[in-house]
Amino acid sequence: MRAIKDSVHDYIEVDGVAEALLDTRPVQRLRHIKQLSTVRLVYPSANHTRFEHSLGVYHLADRALDHLDVTGARADTVRAAALLHDIGHGPYGHQTEGIIQRRLGRHHDDVDRLLSNGVVGDVLSDHGLDPERVADLVAGEGRLGQLVAGELDVDRMDYLVRDAHHTGVPYGTIDHGRLLRALTFRDDDLVLAEGNVATAESVLVGRALMNSAVYRHHVSRIAGAMLDRAGARLLDATDLDIETFARMTDAELLAALRDCEATRDAARRVRDRDLYKRAVWTERDAVPDDVATADYEAARDFEADIADTAGVPEHAVVVDTPGEPSMPESSVRVAVNGDTRRLDEQSPLVEGMLASQRVQWRFGVYAPEEHVPEVAAAAERELGLADVGDPAE
Amino acid sequence: MRAIKDSVHDYIEVDGVAEALLDTRPVQRLRHIKQLSTVRLVYPSANHTRFEHSLGVYHLADRALDHLDVTGARADTVRAAALLHDIGHGPYGHQTEGIIQRRLGRHHDDVDRLLSNGVVGDVLSDHGLDPERVADLVAGEGRLGQLVAGELDVDRMDYLVRDAHHTGVPYGTIDHGRLLRALTFRDDDLVLAEGNVATAESVLVGRALMNSAVYRHHVSRIAGAMLDRAGARLLDATDLDIETFARMTDAELLAALRDCEATRDAARRVRDRDLYKRAVWTERDAVPDDVATADYEAARDFEADIADTAGVPEHAVVVDTPGEPSMPESSVRVAVNGDTRRLDEQSPLVEGMLASQRVQWRFGVYAPEEHVPEVAAAAERELGLADVGDPAE
Amino acid sequence: MRAIKDSVHDYIEVDGVAEALLDTRPVQRLRHIKQLSTVRLVYPSANHTRFEHSLGVYHLADRALDHLDVTGARADTVRAAALLHDIGHGPYGHQTEGIIQRRLGRHHDDVDRLLSNGVVGDVLSDHGLDPERVADLVAGEGRLGQLVAGELDVDRMDYLVRDAHHTGVPYGTIDHGRLLRALTFRDDDLVLAEGNVATAESVLVGRALMNSAVYRHHVSRIAGAMLDRAGARLLDATDLDIETFARMTDAELLAALRDCEATRDAARRVRDRDLYKRAVWTERDAVPDDVATADYEAARDFEADIADTAGVPEHAVVVDTPGEPSMPESSVRVAVNGDTRRLDEQSPLVEGMLASQRVQWRFGVYAPEEHVPEVAAAAERELGLADVGDPAE
Amino acid sequence: MRAIKDSVHDYIEVDGVAEALLDTRPVQRLRHIKQLSTVRLVYPSANHTRFEHSLGVYHLADRALDHLDVTGARADTVRAAALLHDIGHGPYGHQTEGIIQRRLGRHHDDVDRLLSNGVVGDVLSDHGLDPERVADLVAGEGRLGQLVAGELDVDRMDYLVRDAHHTGVPYGTIDHGRLLRALTFRDDDLVLAEGNVATAESVLVGRALMNSAVYRHHVSRIAGAMLDRAGARLLDATDLDIETFARMTDAELLAALRDCEATRDAARRVRDRDLYKRAVWTERDAVPDDVATADYEAARDFEADIADTAGVPEHAVVVDTPGEPSMPESSVRVAVNGDTRRLDEQSPLVEGMLASQRVQWRFGVYAPEEHVPEVAAAAERELGLADVGDPAE
């Protein structure tokens, strides 16, 4: 048994299959993937990694299992899934999700292959666990999968608190002690026990406020969009294959971008925080529907058009359309007066929060500082944007 | 100059008129008034007092004035008002507000008399400050009064964070550093600068979540309602005058209740946490309008009727109708795209939060544990409540 | 089972005999005894009580028992002792220890009588526990008594961290998670496992630094000495018996002092923080041995002599001789290379820390501000002090 | 002006020359140098960088200057030095100090060249500051240099608290608010004001306890020693020049080690935490003087001898002799009774702490797990070590 000191949960005790998994390379690799990728360019203290986050998720899963009285191999399977839930992430986490999904057709929760083959699969088998069953839990399947990847999962409970601790932004500091104690099964649904409507609301608002202040901060979005475009150029310009790309660390991707002529400038800009600026930054109402809901290919076409009109190189324009705000916490189930109700049925706050997220939604077009004026003008014309004034916050 | 260590703001530097005020009896008395009165019966760590809260409000006012570039006697007046803003509170703070207001016709913000006469007035005058002007600020009047008692006041910024620190409930941990830096005047309105809609929302939701989990916890409400009724009996049964009552400390009130035959039992119950239990605890829909909006006299009449029907002494029934949930933060003004907008105009979250508070609204009838069944039955009949089942959470 | 939110340990789960004990009056009384008594006059946030401290000690005991694999009735007995360990304290805790011990011959750890009779004894017996056995543990007797009252007890682990949280002085923030995990039995000795010399040192230095900054701060010592003298006058001047005195709460003692002519002024001074000042405050070298080691009677005689010489009333002089600094942590046992060694055998730090505490030792004589000069002069002459200049820090 | 959110100091306000320096490449590079280098292999949350540490040092310098009433260009020079004080660090900070100093003859505090040439020098000159003067302050020279690099410097105040926050080990949580307020000049010496002997002691013990638990943890020492040896092999095996080496980031060094045949294994071991183990780990008494005080060349010779005897490759043996424990805080000056005294003159704790650090001193020989037995045996014979049993803690 090892007791590992954590900045958020104090000591985390790891033994059995979890201890063995810890020493495998796919798990050690998570030490080199930052939890909040480009957010550190806004909040310089936010350098925590998916490694300690995974330990934290393991720890909360362990406590939840204890509370729910789940033991034996079923519990070990959940613990393993909690520890392994992020090994499918590419370099810079969510920022390369798009590329990987487009080119590999695989989401980071789809860890079947990673678990069945190689050292992780071996460790699982050695401890009598079924890798496929672990992969199902990581994908949120089955009764206990809700604990690993659902609206009430321990992933969320860890990252909100951890991101608050490391950014210094307090909004994520939810009461995970209360959440864990409120977890209970009603038939096969994981729900919060009676008296916890506000507890459920607190998770919803905690994440929404972290979205505004942290996760969707424009500086992080700019850097992320630049990495996405640079990643695509890197894969097109070199013989790097997407499987290798997907298994890189943050630093390995940055080094690869630096070593490739087509992406050297992007690498330098991300490393030295010399990012593109906002040429356009506008509310939903000012954006035509086909632009607001543009998919990746359409967005790239817009970039080409804008660059052409503005007379700048294509890679000098980045069009960034965030998807619709989602609130998985809306469907958290809470026991109320003996019934089980979805949070959005019970709490009028959910609709208010969703509406508020829509108000905060912003469409962005980014360009090197020196090209901002012409790119802004070109974008407004090409995309048919309403005039939106100065994009500076 | 004194530097006083505070558990929330680290060192608070006090000098000039504030240092002199600190040593007066009306300010020292605040050491003996707990910030959260009966909440400590739910959250045992919540023993902080209005004294350190007042220091904290003074400290945040000082920082805000610095940021807003207000100096000289105007600033000193605000600092004095910040330090003195709570000296009008009676014993057990908000729990005796009703009695004092009914019998004395004075709200705790109405500190005119306290400031003009006696040692506090002398200290203010000695430092060249006008007690009346300080009293106006405490009442929220004037341009700078918004900083002391308004939707964006430093009172709120301190108590949310302090109550979170001492209860252990994290929801109140707002980002006061950001709020202070965002304060600015637009004409005579104190507003939040551009880019702070989510900052304003965070205060709103912070307080709403603290309402649910802390400020309106049923155990605290029960103890508070018992104190209110006992206070009235004490004033009726003895020759204690209301002015003296209003200047007592928590402990002095408890001692007076203990020494009076008519209130001895209430004193014991509060001291030893042997409180009345919920005979009724029900949502808004189940309560007829005249009951839900009953004023004090009407509520007392209901108590008499219920007691009569149930065959228990009158003081064995407490009817507790909380007012409508208020959200002063709704009218916080925020700069958005060059305009100044009220938060409830800009953020759909406000309406959601208000609606959520209404859903969480509960009407209560309390009684000694042994009388709960008959009081519950009598209350349902007398008040015309819909059948609401078991009041236990 | 109840889960009680604590500002230090988050949720504390209480059930069985502990839950039943919680509702007894002797335990509820601890809500009204402040953990740090007069320290709040220096650190205004330090209003925490022996009630939440007792819950914290219970919680850490529970975790230690789990770690040490102690279960069943033996564990329940330890848990009960942990929760009850402070019920022997008088009002203002350590500040009335002297009076109570002198007049009643009983230390606060001697809880035999309190446990055998009355409601606490009944609850223990109802749960099949032997009150005498619990009392032995509170007194530190027996193998498991070391956990409740020894050099490695959970009492210390809780109060250091809790006092740090509430004063804001960080020195007490020890690593109790590590300490708990390091506890182990070697024969019948509770020791720290291999690799924990620095862990043991950290407790020693944590407490020593809290001594300097908090526990022995001169303002708290002055108020404490004033309470001791006032308590004696109260017992002499009224028919209050010492048993009743010993069971009072802080507020009840203050009220009794206020209601007695001989102690009214002391009550006012403590309540409004209008304390005596230091007439003498001097290092060990400047104090003759018979003065430095004077017992209570001798100190009172010195007070009379000084008052006489200074021409002031006897109660206007308080002579305060702290005992020798003790460091019970010196005898903590730690496993080192297979042996068990006492910390003071293993770590040269212990001797340094003891010497440092001796250097910080101060002898004080206190008087009302207006009498400081004559009392200082009289004390120097009467006590034969070396000239020590201005006592202001 | 920018307000940057920091996990330790909340908002840090940066403007003027500091804001301009922030965007230079040498300062942005510090985002890619971890503050605690290999300590993250023990404490997985410790991923904070020298970038946010430098911001923190800047912030504390700013507060200290304000307190000391230093303004204008002198203050700007100190602020610049605070922000720049770590730009001389190589990749992995202290772990490559040895190599760089041996091959380049330059310590990380020797930033003359870095400041005079290039963009940093330009920014300083543009703001009317003398790069040479800034470099002097970084080297601790001059009256105000004490604030940047002395026994009472703000560097120490930041790193102790920051390292505690990010490792989770509480010992470093000193009271920097009190330290800052206690700073004062006596003639040209920066000293702590009267009444702060314990404050000075607290810094000393804080750092000593962090040494034991964090900075000198054997796992971090092993990884550090492996990096040192690998760095030397890399420089010998490739045409990488030492100036380029010294300006690398952590990730760039790891990539370079991975890409070189002679160091590939070391890179993998550090990245995947598959480190050498302790073959020898022994107290000072068991080590002959010439071994304990061996310089780098001598240690490398020992390694060759041991490898030869053990029949393993030379790079499979690492001999690690930590220097004598140093305690710069010993010479902190404190005002005591009107004099200025060195802490080690005033406080017997200093000698105790030094002795305690000597007791905790350990000499280590490390080897791949499979070679531990033969390397241990060879080391004992070659170095003449007393038999010291099992090196496992």
Q: What are D189's strand-pairing partners? A: D186
- All residue ranges of chain A with pLDDT < 50 are 392-393
Residues of A in contact with D6 (CB under 8 A): 44-45, 168
**Chain A contact for B348 (CB, 8 A cutoff):** yes
Residues of A in contact with B196 (CB under 8 A): none
Render pLDDT for D237-264 as a digit per residue (tens, 0 to 9): 999 999 999 999 999 999 999 999 999 9
Render pLDDT for D19-38 as a digit per residue (tens, 0 to 9): 999 999 999 999 999 999 99
Specify the pLDDT at position C330: 87
Residues B48, B34: contact at Cβ < 8 Å? yes
Specify the pLDDT at position D391: 52
- Map residue C270 onto helix, strand or coil: helix
Tokens of D21: 């320096």
Q: Is B137 exposed, middle or buried (0-12, 13-18, 19+ CB in 10 A)?
A: buried
Render pLDDT for C317-336 as a digit per residue (tens, 0 to 9): 999 999 877 788 889 999 99
Residues C49, C249: contact at Cβ < 8 Å? no
Tokens of C363: 């002898």
**Chain B contact for A350 (CB, 8 A cutoff):** yes
Rounded mean pLDDT, B287-294: 94
d(CA C138, CA C147): 9
C339-342 and C277-282 strand pairing = unpaired
Measured in degrees and rounded to the nearest 5, phi and psi for residue D191 equal -135, 170
State the chains in contact with B (3 or more Cβ–Cβ pairs under 8 Å). A, C, D
Render pLDDT for C362-375 as a digit per residue (tens, 0 to 9): 999 999 999 999 99
Specify the pLDDT at position B244: 96
- A:C CB pairs within 8 Å: 14
Q: Which helix H or strand E contains C115, and what residues bound it?
A: helix C112-116
- Rounded to a whole number of angstroms, the distance from the CA of D177 to the nearest CA of chain B is 7
Render pLDDT for D157-188 as a digit per residue (tens, 0 to 9): 999 999 999 999 999 999 999 999 999 999 99
What band does D323 get if pLDDT is binned at 50, 70 and 90? confident
Question: DSSP labels for D130-151?
Answer: -HHHHHHHHTT-STTHHHHSST
Q: Which B residues in the span 18-47 are in contact with D, Cβ-Cβ below 8 Å?
A: none
**Chain C contact for A358 (CB, 8 A cutoff):** no
**Chain C contact for D330 (CB, 8 A cutoff):** no
Residues of C in contact with A177 (CB under 8 A): 5, 10-11
Contact check, Cβ <8 Å, B359/A346: yes
d(CA D151, CA D329): 5
- Rounded to a whole number of angstroms, the distance from the CA of C62 to the nearest CA of chain D is 23
What is the ipTM score, two decimals?
0.94
Render pLDDT for B331-343 as a digit per residue (tens, 0 to 9): 999 999 889 999 9
Residues of A in contact with C66 (CB under 8 A): none
**Chain D contact for B177 (CB, 8 A cutoff):** yes
Q: What chain B residue is nearest to A349 in terms of C-alpha separation?
A: B352
Residues C231, C241: contact at Cβ < 8 Å? no
Distance, C-alpha A285 to centroid of its chain: 26
Using the Cα atoms of residue D73, residue D77, residue D80 and residue D82 in order, give the sign of their dihedral. Answer: negative
- Rounded to a whole number of angstroms, the distance from the CA of D194 to the nearest CA of chain C is 7
**Chain B contact for C48 (CB, 8 A cutoff):** yes
- C:D CB pairs within 8 Å: 89
**Chain D contact for B185 (CB, 8 A cutoff):** no
Render pLDDT for A32-46 as a digit per residue (tens, 0 to 9): 999 999 999 999 999
Cα distances (Å, whole numbers) of residue D59 to A105, A274, C301, D163, D341: 47, 23, 55, 16, 28
What band does C388 get if pLDDT is binned at 50, 70 and 90? low
- B:D CB pairs within 8 Å: 14
**Chain D contact for A247 (CB, 8 A cutoff):** no
Q: What chain C residue is nearest to A179 in terms of C-alpha separation?
A: C11
d(CA A80, CA A136): 12
Q: What chain A residue is nearest to D29 in terms of C-alpha separation?
A: A272
Specify the pLDDT at position B323: 82
Specify the pLDDT at position C328: 84
**Chain A contact for D55 (CB, 8 A cutoff):** yes
Specify the pLDDT at position A166: 97
**Chain A contact for B171 (CB, 8 A cutoff):** yes
Write down the residue that tokens 């020593």 correspond to. Answer: C208
What band does C393 get if pLDDT is binned at 50, 70 and 90? very low
Residues of C in contact with D348 (CB under 8 A): 351-352, 355-356, 358-359
Render pLDDT for D107-162 as a digit per residue (tens, 0 to 9): 877 788 888 889 999 999 999 999 999 999 999 999 999 999 999 999 999 999 99
**Chain B contact for C263 (CB, 8 A cutoff):** no
Who among B11, B178, B181 is closest to D177 (CB)? Answer: B11
Residue C86 has pLDDT above 70, yes or no: yes
Specify the pLDDT at position B253: 97
Specify the pLDDT at position C201: 93
D363-367 and D318-320 strand pairing = antiparallel
Who among B3, B177, B181 is closest to D181 (CB)? Answer: B3
Cα distances (Å, whole numbers) of residue D79 to A8, B342, D55, D181: 32, 40, 10, 18
Specify the pLDDT at position C256: 97
Half-sphere exposure of B24 toward its Cβ, with a 13 Å CA cutoff? 21
Q: What chain A residue is nearest to B194 in terms of C-alpha separation?
A: A393
d(CA C14, CA C16): 7
- Map residue B334 onto helix, strand or coil: strand
Percent of chain B with pLDDT over 90: 86
Burial B251-265 (b: 16+ CB within 10 A, else e): bbbbbbbbebeebeb
Residue D392 has pLDDT above 70, yes or no: no
What band does B393 get if pLDDT is binned at 50, 70 and 90? very low
Residues of C in contact with A181 (CB under 8 A): 3, 11
Give the domain C2-168 fold. Hypothetical protein af1432 (1.10.3210)
Render pLDDT for B194-211 as a digit per residue (tens, 0 to 9): 999 999 999 999 999 999
Who among C171, C199, C351 is closest to D202 (CB)? Answer: C171
